[in-house]
Amino acid sequence: MIVLIIMASILLASISIIQFKNEAKEYHQERLERNENAVKQHINYVLSTTTYPLTSGNLDLIFKDKIHELAQIHNIEINIYSLDGQLLKSSKESFSVDKVSPSIPKYILKLVRSSIEKKYVDIKTINGVKNRSLYSQIKDDKFKPLGILNLPYVENDGFYENELNSFLIRLGQVYSFMLIVAFAVAYFLSSYITKSLKTISDKLSETSLYQKNEKIVLEANSKEINLLIKAYNGMVDELEKSAIKLAQSEREEAWREMAKQVAHEIKNPLTPMRLTVQSFQRKFDPNDADIKQKMKDYSETLIQQIDTMNAVASAFSNFASMPAQQNETLNVVEVVELAMDIFNEEYITFQSDSPEIISKVDRTQLIRIITNLVKNAIQSIPENQEEKSIVVTVRKELNNVLITVADNGIGIQPKDISRIFEPKFTTKSSGMGLGLGIIKNIIENYKGTITFETEFGKGTTFTVSLPIINS
């Protein structure tokens, strides 16, 4: 809109300049012709009333006194030439006729004779000013040429230039006002249009497969924007269906993987149990003197494998459904320090910037978090490592209590970082990889977070952030 207005103003100004110049040109041409007609009528009157014979040689005598009268009456310079182009009379008082008087160029004489109207207008630009000079034949009453009339005319475009400048100033004022209006209209119009687009953009940036997406409730005046809103709302419906299907598929896949893991963990103790029973059945002798010891070893082996199977079932049961929270008001620092008493390793140290951080949490679940993290830290340090260190820190930060467990073990390999909280994932030779998954569920139930920083070969630091729930 603004570009069109600017282009229109430039185009209109250009056309106006050309129009003014053409009008000035036509005005000067018409004015010169009017002067010619008036002077010629006066000359014809002088010729009809003179007592001198009407010949070319008598023109200087006929207009000896009349030429100045003609010039004053018509307010124009008048020159009379002979048919061969020699100056006979001029209205210039300071002009003296002599042998070196300027004559009419031969090409102008030819153009005057060859033209239908027996006249020619010569146009020259001198010092940036246009000078017109009209040459026309003077004839007697029988249309016989007697001489040539010359009317010099200097164009004065001051009036048209002033008019043009005034017009351009008014045009500039009008279009400046139009530009201001265009800027205002363009701003409000673009704001009006982009307001709907901004709403759509914000909704698109918030759209995610893993959350409930809201539809856009907006009725725009633009048909295209309404189609865009309709397409977005349709996409939200399809996305919700896809999310439901994906969640169902993920649950089914998780249960399949869990079933495989359970089957695998149960098969592990079943195999030695089967071998033990078969061996006992094959070698059983009631009369053997060591029958009691063998029965004892056999029973202990079966009980050990049964305990392993029971631990597997308990671990998966705990992972599938966490016990209800039994929140109680307690000192987090004291509980964490108490939970560490079960560890006898001398390289485990405890630090806290405050002796007391009161919150309302489940004591058992908090102890479970600490013991699991410390146990993982102990297992991450190789047995043959000389300098071993595990530092457990508790501190308060705003409305959260931060518990960090830092070790100088082998750390976590980069390829395993993204899977560290996955169920059944473990980097150890024993265990089912459910510990971090379980404590992550506990922490998230409290609206908390668990993060870690690791450098392979140097150690890992786990940070648990739990909101302080006031009683």
User: Greatest CA span in the chain, whole angstroms?
Assistant: 186
pTM as predicted = 0.38
Whether 183 is covered by a domain: the verdict is no
Are residue 345 and residue 459 in the same domain, yes or no?
yes
C-beta separation of 102 from 110 below 8 A = no
C-beta separation of 407 from 381 below 8 A = yes
Are residue 257 and residue 129 in the same domain, yes or no?
no
Least confident range of 41-55, 168-182, 264-278, 401-415: 264-278
| Domain C-terminal end among 301, 320, 339 | 320
**Per-residue pLDDT at 99 exceeds 50:** no
Amino acid at 390: I
pLDDT for the residue numbered 433: 43
What is the DSSP-derived secondary structure letter of residue 354? -
Are residue 17 and residue 140 in the same domain, yes or no?
yes
CA 73-79-81 angle, 5° bins: 140
Query: Nearest Cα to 329, choosing from 300, 283, 361?
Result: 361
Are residue 344 and residue 428 in the same domain, yes or no?
yes
The CATH number of the domain holding residue 291 is 1.10.287
| Domain C-terminal end among 161, 195, 211 | 161
Whether 453 is covered by a domain: the verdict is yes
Residue located via tokens 């109680």: 328
Question: What is the per-residue burial (b if ≥16 Cβ within 10 Å, else e) of 300-321?
Answer: ebbeebeebbeebeebbeebee
Are residue 63 and residue 139 in the same domain, yes or no?
yes
- Which of 38-42, 260-264, 275-279 has the highest average model confidence (pLDDT)? 38-42
Determine the average pLDDT of the residues in 331-339.
89
Rounded to an integer, what distance in angstroms lies between the CA atom of residue 133 and that of residue 162? 25
Are residue 24 and residue 156 in the same domain, yes or no?
yes
Rounded to an integer, what distance in angstroms lies between the CA atom of residue 367 and that of residue 364? 5
Query: Nearest Cα to 108, choosing from 89, 80, 83, 131?
Result: 83
Whether 16 is covered by a domain: the verdict is yes
pLDDT for the residue numbered 115: 86
Amino acid at 294: K
Are residue 8 and residue 153 in the same domain, yes or no?
yes
| pLDDT tens, residue by residue, 118-136 | 888 888 877 777 788 888 8
Q: Would you state the structure tokens that stand for residue 167, as one six-digit string?
A: 């017009």
The CATH number of the domain holding residue 91 is 3.30.450.20
Provide the residue range defining the domain that includes 140. Answer: 2-161
Rounded to an integer, what distance in angstroms lies between the CA atom of residue 24 and that of residue 41? 26
Are residue 287 and residue 385 in the same domain, yes or no?
no
Determine the average pLDDT of the residues in 194-220.
70
Rounded to an integer, what distance in angstroms lies between the CA atom of residue 425 and that of residue 428? 9
Are residue 145 and residue 239 in the same domain, yes or no?
no
Helices (H), 50-157: 59-62, 66-74, 106-114
Are residue 131 and residue 28 in the same domain, yes or no?
yes
Whether 448 is covered by a domain: the verdict is yes
Rounded to an integer, what distance in angstroms lies between the CA atom of residue 400 and that of residue 451? 14
The CATH number of the domain holding residue 440 is 3.30.565.10
Rounded to an integer, what distance in angstroms lies between the CA atom of residue 351 and that of residue 156? 102
Mean pLDDT score across all residues of the chain:
79
Q: Would you state the structure tokens that stand for residue 17, as one six-digit string?
A: 């300049």
| pLDDT tens, residue by residue, 356-379 | 998 888 888 888 888 889 988 998
Containing 47, the helix (H) or strand (E) segment is helix 2-49
Number of structural domains found in the chain: 3
Please give the full DSSP string across 301-343, using - where no structure is assigned: HHHHHHHHHHHHHHHHHHHHSPPPP-EEEEEHHHHHHHHGGG-
Whether 216 is covered by a domain: the verdict is no
Whether 204 is covered by a domain: the verdict is no
Rounded to an integer, what distance in angstroms lies between the CA atom of residue 258 and that of residue 262? 6
Whether 374 is covered by a domain: the verdict is yes
Q: Tell me phi and psi for residue 118, to 5 degrees.
A: 55, 45
Neighbours of 205 (CB within 10 A): 8
Are residue 363 and residue 316 in the same domain, yes or no?
no
Are residue 377 and residue 316 in the same domain, yes or no?
no
pLDDT-derived band of residue 100, with 50, 70 and 90 as boundaries? low
Q: Tell me phi and psi for residue 278, to 5 degrees.
A: -65, -40
| Domain C-terminal end among 299, 320, 341 | 320
Whether 107 is covered by a domain: the verdict is yes
